[in-house]
Amino acid sequence: MSFEPNYLDYPGHIAGVDEVGRGPLAGAVVTAAVILDPQKPISGLTDSKKLSAKKRLLLAKEIKEKALYYCIARAEHTEIDELNIFHATLLAMKRAVEGLPIRPDLVLVDGKFCPQITLPCEAIIKGDTKVAAISAASIIAKVSRDNEMIALDKTFPGYGFARHKGYPTKQHIAALQEQGICPEHRKSFKPVQKIINQSNVN
């Protein structure tokens, strides 16, 4: 896959940044910042959602082995409820960039908005299909969050977190109606609010 615009010849360190988990009803929003090594290209990078789980795992391992630097960060479900998902996502992105062991010369973020950082930053719509470093960030963030939700499924069984990763599927909504919410649910999200309100009425 060819990436356009091509930032691979940029004469400095580029950090690609992406998030995973804005839509789920439970868990943290997870972000990653990745600085790739131009001397160690990685084949198969693209938007993490376009890859199978098996392929994501293989690529995540390769990214961590070959990247110059990477950092995985997050904003917890409580921060999402306090700040809203938009601002919590930007906060998690800021944490990922600031968690890198070096200051990148340029930060490229997937989407329309940049986090509040004191570095040159550019937001690129569909950046995870245009910039290799953003694709890499998308993949390791996705694998990290999926693993968290698989672990959460063991702590709070019955919701199906391992299957739907917290997204509002029919199975998840049905489980909420039957079991109520768990401590990891985002109380500010409407489907969760609805269950809370029903419980208060009853």
pLDDT at 199: 75
**In a domain? residue 25:** yes
Q: Which residues contact 27 (CB under 8 A, 6 or more apart)?
A: 21, 77, 145, 148, 149, 152, 161, 165, 166, 184
Number of domains observed in the structure of the chain: 1
Q: Which residues contact 43 (CB under 8 A, 6 or more apart)?
A: none
pLDDT at 30: 98
**In a domain? residue 29:** yes
**In a domain? residue 2:** no
**In a domain? residue 202:** no
**In a domain? residue 60:** yes
**In a domain? residue 147:** yes
CATH number of the domain encompassing residue 117: 3.30.420.10
Q: What is the pLDDT of residues 105-123, one digit of tens each?
A: 999 999 999 999 999 999 9
Q: What is the pLDDT of residues 36-67, one digit of tens each?
A: 998 999 999 988 989 999 999 999 999 999 99
What global pTM score does this model have? Answer: 0.93
pLDDT at 12: 85
Given a cut of 50, the residues of the chain with pLDDT beneath it are 1-5
**In a domain? residue 196:** no
From the list 136, 115, 114, the residue with the least C-alpha distance to 124 is 114
Termini Cα distance of the chain: 55
**In a domain? residue 183:** no
- For 28, the domain range is 14-155
Measured CA to CA, the distance from residue 5 to residue 132 in angstroms comes to 10
